Amino acid sequence: MTTTRRDFLAAAAATAGAAMTPDLNHAHQHGHEHQAVPSDPALRVKALESLLVEKGLVDRAALDTLVDAYEHKIGPRNGARVVARAWADPAYKQRLLTNADAAIAELGYGGMQGEHMLVVENTPKVHNMIVCTLCSCYPWPVLGLPPVWYKSAPYRSRSVIDPRGVLREFGLDLPADVEVRVWDSTAELRYLVLPERPAGTEHLNEEQLAALVTRDSLVGVAKVAPPQAGASA
Amino acid sequence: MNGVHDMGGMHGMGPIQNEKKEPVFHEPWEGRVFAMNRAAAAWHKWNIDASRHAKELLPPADYLRMSYYEKFYAGLVELLIVSGLVTRAEIESGKGAQGSAIATPPLTAEQALVLVAKGVPASRNLQVPPRFQTGQRVRARNIHPVGHTRLPRYARGKLGVVDRDHGVFVFPDTNAHFLGEKPQHVYSVRFAARELWGEQAAPQDSVYLDLWDDYLEPA
């Protein structure tokens, strides 16, 4: 393992230097602290794409398809529909909590970075929130790609040690008697929070319910606001 | 490895910046580097664990300073070079070496849609006996592997209870280094917040981690 790691490390140092920093030697002498942020990642990425296409390593149309899928087709509206169905249909909710993969597939969702799903239910006494302290694992099929804050050092570092403080920063002050459960996505399980259905929504249909559900509530850093409170994050 | 990526419980990272109406990609290049990562992975020269480890091996100061997609770029370039798909000279010049063969991309647009819809399951349909049972008290081992691991430092040596058995999955610690999948059970293990953080934590709060057999011992 050590040899492999050394190879990795040598390549990483060489690559990070060659690709991201014009002045690797200078940076090394000073223990990296003067390495510049790449001045123009757009140009470097464009050059890499040209190279990979030229060598036949990637197909440009495949790249377009992948970007389009996550920019336009897959996002938190999917997760919102799952939650709305669970609120509207108790049998579906049971299936969702016991076999999330199959229940989510009933609505046509699933796939990359959501191959193994688990849904955790918020109640008046239990609040769940999701994090990935080691990288940025996130349930793509139901939430899309993660927002910057989810991938950021502040969220990743603090969610496990100070979840209540993090939630307060999101505007959610939980009573002391509520149990907070933090789910650190350390393996290939991906989590979705089933938020509490807000009061005053008995008359709403599934589509109207889905419109209330925000991305942040599906990660567990917010509650779903009742309709009269207006739209939120 | 005890890297800066293993952030759980660290202090000093500042407040959370919640951008309203955030776009999926802030710049077009972010989408391109995201897509290139997926398309190049279709060569099967590396796996998701090796891909994560490539980012962990970035110098710590760079890791903290770079944006998510800058890390994607740096990790991808590293994997491309280590795997032999491209050379450093080609990255530097932006051009393929003279006379080098032109390959056929393994991922077409149609196959990309299938990849998105099907994913790449890490579970393995194998009869591997579980070492632990639901409800059993376990201790996360106090180990400090120099390579890739998914056992965060903040849980090592701590007592927890197996909440459920997720089934059999590829083991990242070996898979990241191309030493085999070593399939084994993964469990959701509940750790009381006070076991992890002491009296400052609320008594009823907890953190659940998904941990492999090799990370656990009976307690």
> Residue ranges of the alpha helices (H) in B94-168?
109-118
Asked, for residue A58, whether it belongs to a domain, the answer is yes
Asked, for residue A9, whether it belongs to a domain, the answer is no
Asked, for residue B144, whether it belongs to a domain, the answer is yes
Nearest to A32 among B53, B62, B204 (CB): B62
* B31/chain A closest Cα distance in angstroms: 6
Task: Inspect the interface and report whether the beta carbons of A111 and B116 lie closer than 8 Å.
Answer: yes
* Mean pLDDT within A150-170: 98
Query: A217 and A163: one domain?
Result: yes
State the best of A23, A55, A72, A136 to mutate against chain B, taking most chain B CBs within 10 Å. A55
- Which stretches in chain B have pLDDT values below 70? none
A62: which chain B residues are within 8 Å (Cβ-Cβ)? 35, 39, 105, 107-109, 111-112
Asked, for residue A161, whether it belongs to a domain, the answer is yes
Query: B36 and B109: one domain?
Result: yes
Task: Give the containing element (helix H, strand E) for B31.
Answer: helix B28-41
Asked, for residue A69, whether it belongs to a domain, the answer is yes
pLDDT at B99: 86
* Mean pLDDT within A117-144: 98
* A230 vs A143, higher pLDDT: A143
Task: Inspect the interface and report whether the beta carbons of B5 and A9 lie closer than 8 Å.
Answer: no
- Convert B157-186 to b/e letters by CB count within 10 Å (16 or more is b): ebebbbbbebbbbbbbbbbbbeeebbbbbb
Annotated active-site residue A135? The verdict is: yes
Asked, for residue B124, whether it belongs to a domain, the answer is no
* Mean pLDDT within A189-217: 97
Query: A61 and A92: one domain?
Result: no
Band the pLDDT of A39: cuts 50, 70, 90: low
Task: Inspect the interface and report whether the beta carbons of A184 and B64 lie closer than 8 Å.
Answer: no
Domain boundary among B61, B88, B118: B118
The mean-pLDDT minimum among A196-205, A213-222, B94-103 falls in: B94-103
Band the pLDDT of A229: cuts 50, 70, 90: low
Asked, for residue B16, whether it belongs to a domain, the answer is no
Residue B217's nearest CA partner among B147, B160, B170 is B160
Query: B99 and B157: one domain?
Result: no
Query: A46 and A117: one domain?
Result: no
Asked, for residue A35, whether it belongs to a domain, the answer is no
Domains of chain A: total? 2
Query: A96 and A160: one domain?
Result: yes
Cα B67 to Cα A40: distance, rounded to the nearest angstrom? 13
pLDDT at B100: 83
The mean-pLDDT minimum among A15-24, A126-135, B20-29, B91-100 falls in: A15-24
Cα B91 to Cα B81: distance, rounded to the nearest angstrom? 9
* Mean pLDDT within A205-228: 96
What are the backbone dihedrals phi and psi of residue B206, each rounded to the nearest 5 degrees, phi first?
-155, 165
Domain boundary among A73, A92, A127: A73
Annotated active-site residue A136? The verdict is: yes
Query: A64 and A79: one domain?
Result: no
Query: A60 and A112: one domain?
Result: no
Task: Inspect the interface and report whether the beta carbons of A187 and B150 lie closer than 8 Å.
Answer: yes
Here the CATH number for the domain that contains residue A126 is 3.90.330.10
Domains of chain B: total? 2
Q: Which domain holds residue B189?
A: 137-218
For the record, the structure tokens of B194 come out as 């006070």
State the best of A73, A119, A161 to mutate against chain B, taking most chain B CBs within 10 Å. A161
Asked, for residue B213, whether it belongs to a domain, the answer is yes
Query: A58 and A90: one domain?
Result: no
* A155/chain B closest Cα distance in angstroms: 6
* A143/chain B closest Cα distance in angstroms: 11
User: Is 80 exceeded by the pLDDT of residue A52?
Assistant: yes
pLDDT at A24: 34
Asked, for residue B94, whether it belongs to a domain, the answer is yes
User: Is 60 exceeded by the pLDDT of residue A12?
Assistant: no
Per DSSP, the residues of A125-182 read SEEEEEE-SSS----HHHH-SPPHHHHSHHHHHHTTT-HHHHHHHTT----TTSEEEE
Which residues neighbour B182 within 8 Å (Cβ) at sequence distance 6 or greater?
Answer: B170, B171, B173, B174, B175, B214
The catalytically annotated residue of A39, A50, A135, A157 is A135
B15: which chain A residues are within 8 Å (Cβ-Cβ)? 154, 169
Asked, for residue B184, whether it belongs to a domain, the answer is yes
Query: A121 and A198: one domain?
Result: yes
Summarize pLDDT for A56-105 with one digit per residue, the tens. Answer: 999 999 999 999 999 999 999 999 999 999 999 999 999 999 999 999 99
Asked, for residue A13, whether it belongs to a domain, the answer is no
ipTM above 0.90, yes or no: yes
Here the CATH number for the domain that contains residue B199 is 2.30.30.50
State the best of A32, A39, A48 to mutate against chain B, taking most chain B CBs within 10 Å. A48
Query: B95 and B144: one domain?
Result: no
Here the CATH number for the domain that contains residue B34 is 1.10.472.20
Query: B101 and B166: one domain?
Result: no
Query: A68 and A144: one domain?
Result: no
A179: which chain B residues are within 8 Å (Cβ-Cβ)? 204-206
A17: which chain B residues are within 8 Å (Cβ-Cβ)? none
Asked, for residue A16, whether it belongs to a domain, the answer is no
Nearest to B197 among A63, A147, A161 (CB): A161
Query: A56 and A93: one domain?
Result: no
Task: Give the containing element (helix H, strand E) for B48.
Answer: helix B48-56
Asked, for residue B187, whether it belongs to a domain, the answer is yes
Query: A46 and A123: one domain?
Result: no
Domain boundary among A50, A73, A96: A73
Within a 13 Å sphere around the CA of B21, how many CA atoms are in the beta-carbon half? Answer: 1
- The number of residues making up chain A comes to 233
Query: B32 and B114: one domain?
Result: yes
Long-range contacts at A134-138 (CB < 8 A, ≥ 24 apart): A134/A184, A134/A186, A134/B5, A134/B6, A134/B7, A134/B8, A134/B52, A134/B150, A134/B152, A135/B5, A135/B52, A135/B55, A136/B68, A137/A113, A137/A185, A137/A188, A137/A190, A138/A113, A138/A185, A138/A190
Annotated active-site residue A232? The verdict is: no
* A197/chain B closest Cα distance in angstroms: 22
Query: A98 and A192: one domain?
Result: yes
Summarize pLDDT for B94-139 with one digit per residue, the tens. Answer: 999 988 889 999 999 999 999 999 999 999 999 999 999 999 999 9
Asked, for residue A1, whether it belongs to a domain, the answer is no
Could you tell me what percent of chain A has a pLDDT over 70?
81
Q: Which domain holds residue A80?
A: 75-229
Which residues neighbour A202 within 8 Å (Cβ) at sequence distance 6 or greater?
Answer: none
Cα A48 to Cα B94: distance, rounded to the nearest angstrom? 7
* Mean pLDDT within A218-232: 82
Residue of A nearest to B206 (CA): A181
Asked, for residue B19, whether it belongs to a domain, the answer is no
